[in-house]
Structure 1
Amino acid sequence: MGTVSLPDTWVYALRLPHDPRAARVARMTVRAALGGHGRHELIDTVELLTSELVGNAYRHTRGPCSVRLTGLSDGRLRVGVWDSHPRIPAPFGEPPGRRVPAAPPDAVGGRGLRLVQECADSWGAFSLGGEARGAGKLLWFEVRDRRP
């Protein structure tokens, strides 16, 4: 009888409707997927950052969004969030290394994408076509497993 070994890489994809509960569903999915793969040390950070991106997709678009979690063999975890709006926000639209200023203490918003900038090892964005095409954008970030 042969031994079955789990793959080093894995992918989960989740399509979410335009619904105020979408960020919660994304958090629960992240927690379940990472826990199932023994990546417990990444759960809190990935859950927070994914929730921020999905929450922004809900606030700034009128359509659905998608989340894709990819566990890579070198210990990295990549999360991509697609939405239908073409505008790429800072820090994703900024040159690498450029820091987005902190939101004023009395501001109602403006902290979520700064969290991505501070907590992720890398991040980026792809425009998937102009507004007329309606293809939207993909924002992504990566975190690395720090275990030895």
Structure 2
Amino acid sequence: MIGVIDTDGDCAEWTFPAEAGAVRAARAAVRGRLRDWELDSLADLTALLVSELVTNSLRHATGPIGVRLVRPADLDGVLLVEVSDPLPDPPRERAPHPEDESGRGLQLVAHSSRRWGTRPGRNTGKTVWFELAVPR
């Protein structure tokens, strides 16, 4: 992990180097923060989706990978999760063949989240984000 920023207790950000260990480190960081926020029920799904997006960043981009969580302000809210990398091109959903070993990450994000999308990065690159409803 290159860095951790905790802005106000309701937001956590990490930067990971673009190397194989980033996926494992991102999952662990996300799980730990969700546990701290008492959102354990979202930990497995969030860690899975983050690992898919970080893996996409590793495959297609070079440079650091950012992960950001924003805790919902209330129990009716959503958890916002963002994964950023320096590649400006937005990811594309693919229609993989049944025999393909990869290509399903964005489909998993799309089907498992409340909403998802992409936007240009703060300075360069892009951010892929998704929202998960907080269970009551």
Q: Match for 1:141 among 108, 130, 135?
A: 130
Q: CA deviation at 1:127?
A: 2.0
Find the aligned partners of 1:61 and 1:122 in 2 and give their Cα distance.
Answer: 24
Q: CA deviation at 1:73?
A: 1.0
Q: What is the TM-score normalised by the length of structure 2?
A: 0.86
Moved over 3 A (4+): none
| Letter of the structure 2 residue corresponding to residue 35 of structure 1 | R
Aligned to 1:87: 89
Aligned to 1:12: 12
Gaps of 5+ in 1: 1-8, 92-99
CA 1:32–1:128 in structure 2 vs 1: closer, same or farther (change >3 Å)?
A: closer
Q: CA deviation at 1:18?
A: 1.1
Q: What is the TM-score normalised by the length of structure 1?
A: 0.80
Q: CA deviation at 1:43?
A: 0.6
RMSD: 1.9
The count of residues paired between Structure 1 and Structure 2 equals: 127
Find the aligned partners of 1:128 and 1:56 in 2 and give their Cα distance.
Answer: 16
Aligned to 2:4: none
Aligned to 1:96: none
Find the aligned partners of 1:21 and 1:30 in 2 and give their Cα distance.
Answer: 14
Q: CA deviation at 1:48?
A: 0.4
Aligned to 1:95: none
Aligned to 2:6: none
Q: CA deviation at 1:12?
A: 0.5
Deviations 1:81-111 (A, max 9, x none): 11011111134xxxxxxxx64x211012111
Q: What is the percent sequence identity of the aligned residues?
A: 37
Gaps of 5+ in 2: 1-8
